[in-house]
Every structure is written in C-alpha cells, then in structure tokens.
Chains A and B, each alone.
Chain A
C-alpha cells in the first residue's frame, strides 16, 4: 500500500473518531430535549486549555485532566440551566441554537482573555507522538490508535447503557414523551441534566484527544470540529450511536483524502457536500429511524 494513502486513511480515521465523539455528544442531548449543544466546540477547547494550565500549576497530568473534566461537566449543568431550559419554554422554540452557540463564543472569549490567544503546547497524556506500533508493515501512531479505541469503546458503552439498562430505557422514554415519563415517576429533569453533563464530558474527552494529536491548542480550536461533528451526526442519522460512529469515520476519511489528493481547501467543503447529498437522498440519515406510529 502506498504510504501517503495509508497515512491519510489513518489520519482520517482518527479525526473521524473524534467527530464521532462530538456527534455522540450532540445525540445525547438530542435524545432528551431535541436540542443540540453547539457550545461543544468551546468545551473541547476549554477542556484542553484547562488541562494545560492546571498541569502548568504543577498538578499531576492525570489530576489536571480530571480537574478539567470536572469543570467541563459543571459547565454542562450551566448550559442546560441557562442556555437550553429557558429556550425550550416555548413549544417548538429553536432559541437554543443561538443561546448554546452564543455561550460557546462567550467561553472562547473568556479563554482568550485568561489564557491568551496564542496556541500552547499540549502535553503527552498516554503516548508521545513518537510511539508507534507496526500494522501491516506500516507504522501507526499509538496516539491515533488510542483516539480510535476510546471513541469505539465509549460508543459501545453508551449503546449497552441505552439498550440494556433501565436508566437507558428511561432516557429513551424521556426522548419519546417527557410528560408521560414524568407521570410514570421517571426523574425527567435529572435525566436531562445528566445528558448535558455526559455530552459536555464527551466534548471534553474529544477535545483532549484531538489536542493530543495536534500537539497544540488555542482558543479558536474546536469551532469547526463541532460543525463537522454535527455533519457526522446528521449523516449517520441524528440520535443513532452507530450512525455517529459511521458518520464520523466517513466525514473524517473523505475530508482527509480529498484534502490530501485534491486540495486542503476542499477538506471541509466536501463534508458539507456529503451532508447535502445525504439530506437529498435520505433525510433521516444512514441509520436514522423513521418513527413507528399508528394514530
């Protein structure tokens, strides 16, 4: 196999895995509220920035990561309470698009003010960029492998949780009919809050993974990632975990291949072209379900 092609495929799969994580995070809040948290991009950035800065204060790297994730989870609560809940008051309101995006931009500004607008180096968490294993006679960066494994593992865990546990079923119930869920004693508010915390944590993890690959992080980082994660989610079928994974990988691979062989300028454009083609051919996405109903 040609080395250039192989390196593009690898890069595509690993960024695709990150898009899949972002898509999964978008799915989580979509399940419970039909709202998407577009502030995810800034949470990715902030999680990586906070990790760098906590580590710079002399904290052990693992503690810095946990501390950053803790803060990001807290911001998830804040977003649900102040950006999404008020926006969902009116039935069918789409105010959350603006409020979550706006909160993301606000976080970006805060990060630039506190940490400066320059890119900072991101430390090696598990492996350094020099760690390789050999697969099919090709060198594969361990960092890329870790990204892929973490993404696949999280997606499998989430699927197991939703399909096999009572709480997973309760999440499904909240997505289908929150009023009925409440009347049946399901703690709707807590489940919604939980979905925002989990989605923020997913964004945080995705941010750490991508910062790890890129090696640096700056306040502007994360913005196009959330857009591409959104493309992946819609492509795979909004709300489907398998769809998030497949969508993420397809978007990651095509954009890297197009970027490598045609032009890097077309990298993101091709993702949106994919999105439009999917919307025209199959609006519910690859794995999207059409609702079962009978009046």
Chain B
C-alpha cells in the first residue's frame, strides 16, 4: 500500500511536481503516464527519498516515511528500478543480484532466489560472471528488474522499463512485471511514456502534465478515453 499526498518537488527554481496525490493498493499495478519532463521520475524518486520534497507526505503501508533516508525506506520494503539503466556496472550479474538480495527482505534463501531469476531469464545464467555494464540493454534491464524483485519488495517502483528496447524484449519484460504483480501481492507503480503498453498490465493509471495530476482512472477508462491524444 502506497499513499502520496499533496507532494511537491522542486530543484532550485524548477518546480517538478505540484500537489500530487496518488493512492495504490496492495496487489494493484498503477501506471504513471506523461510526456518528457512531466515529472514521472521525480515522483518515483521522491517516493524513494532521492528527490528534494518541498511539501506533502508519503506513506508505506500506513507508515509515514517522508522524513526517512532512502535506505530506511528500502528496508520498509520499497524497491526502485531507476531511470537510466542503473546497476553496478563493474560488478558481474551475480554480484549485483547478491547485493540486492543481501540488503532486501531475504524472504527466500539465496540459492532458491538465484535459481528463480535464472529460470525466468535463462540468458542471465549464461552471463552470470560478466560485468553487468557489458550486457546488452535488454539483458541489463532483466538484471535491474531481477535486482528489485529478488528483494521481495512490498512496493515496487519501475521507471520506464521499456525505454530503448526492441518490441520482443519489451513484451518479455512486461510479462515478467505482470507475473510478479500477480504472484507477489506487492504494490507496483510503473512510470511510462508509452501509455498503451503500461495500461495493458496496470489496473489504474495516473497522467501527469507539467508536474500536476491531469487525469486518473482505471486502465480501461483511460484506454477508452483516448488519453494518448489529449495528454501525452
């Protein structure tokens, strides 16, 4: 369960978010939509504790975490796949996974958790000893997603998981996300520019425009309402 209330974020003179509210239930998937610069990443970063929050509050499972450090929030069960394919590039695939698992909830033993990752993405088993920075974009995205899910998060934030990937890989990645959302009971929030893909797996959507919530609704409402034409 994730609740955001009246959130404002500004970087010096640039006001990235103004009075944004959002509520996402456990077991649901929410798409955060919007054009370039709409504030999607700022919203996810504020939830994670790495963007400067001016006003408002953020609650995870009812607990106010607005003043907590990123690592404290992570220990409350938050996981965040950041924009820009962020992983520890010099470390190999398995080291990245191991580190993510070690500082996560550890609800599954390491061996089983690793086996599960390799069963879902067999290519990663072949690349397990390769520096993750040398993998292809799609393989990196698989590592990044697995690093978030291996922590057994209760709230999972994904920032443009499809960016720059071939359609086939995008489908594979989204199938993985949908599977995780279904099986884990976690709250999943996906920031995407490509509304049509994200709304296929999401239950609800929220469109941002210039840092404000412009529209919210169920995925079907948004898809039917021709949201793409009006807001993106």
Bits for B62-85, please: 1 = Cβ < 8 Å to A, else 0: 000000011100110001101000
Closest to B87 in A: A180
- Using C-beta atoms within 8 Å of the partner chain, give the interface range for chain A: 20 to 34
| Shortest CB distance B153–A (Å) | 10
Q: Tell me if B20 is interfacial: C-beta within 8 Å of chain A.
A: no
| A180 contacts B86, C-beta separation under 8 Å | yes
Q: Tell me if A58 is interfacial: C-beta within 8 Å of chain B.
A: no
When A and B form their complex, what is the total count of cross-chain residue pairs whose Cβ atoms lie within 8 Å?
A: 81
| Shortest CB distance A31–B (Å) | 12
Known: A166-B98, A292-B131. A184 touches B151 (CB 8 A): yes
Bits for A222-256, please: 1 = Cβ < 8 Å to B, else 0: 00000000000000000000000000000000000
| B88 contacts A180, C-beta separation under 8 Å | yes
| A169 contacts B69, C-beta separation under 8 Å | no
Closest to B137 in A: A294
Please provide the chain A residues from 138 to 176 with a CB less than 8 Å away from any CB of chain B in the complex. Answer: 166, 169-170, 172-173, 176
Partner of B91, one of A166, A172, A183, A187: A172
| Shortest CB distance B32–A (Å) | 17
CA A285 to CA B37, docked complex, whole Å: 42
CA A294 to CA B100, docked complex, whole Å: 21
- Using C-beta atoms within 8 Å of the partner chain, give the interface range for chain B: 20 to 34
| A183 contacts B48, C-beta separation under 8 Å | yes
| B82 contacts A183, C-beta separation under 8 Å | yes
CA A166 to CA B110, docked complex, whole Å: 13
Partner of A186, one of B90, B99, B131: B99
Can you list 7 A-B contacts (CB < 8 A)?
A166-B99, A169-B102, A183-B74, A183-B82, A185-B151, A189-B69, A291-B90
Provide the residues of chain B in CB contact with A184, threshold 8 Å: 74, 79, 99-100, 103-104, 147, 151
| B71 contacts A188, C-beta separation under 8 Å | yes
Closest to B130 in A: A292
Q: Tell me if A182 is interfacial: C-beta within 8 Å of chain B.
A: yes
Provide the residues of chain A in CB contact with B103, threshold 8 Å: 170, 184-186
Provide the residues of chain A in CB contact with B147, threshold 8 Å: 184
Provide the residues of chain A in CB contact with B203, threshold 8 Å: none
Q: Tell me if A179 is interfacial: C-beta within 8 Å of chain B.
A: yes
Between B69, B82, B99, B133, the greatest number of chain A beta carbons within 10 A of the residue's beta carbon is seen for B99
Known: A188-B71, A292-B133, A294-B133. A183 touches B88 (CB 8 A): no
| Shortest CB distance A167–B (Å) | 9
Please give me the 10 A-B residue pairs with the lowest Cβ-Cβ distance, nearest first.
Answer: A185-B74, A182-B70, A185-B103, A166-B102, A292-B131, A176-B88, A183-B80, A180-B86, A292-B90, A182-B71
CA A58 to CA B136, docked complex, whole Å: 66
Q: Tell me if B50 is interfacial: C-beta within 8 Å of chain A.
A: yes
CA A183 to CA B51, docked complex, whole Å: 12
CA A180 to CA B80, docked complex, whole Å: 9
Bits for A176-200, please: 1 = Cβ < 8 Å to B, else 0: 1101101111111100000000000
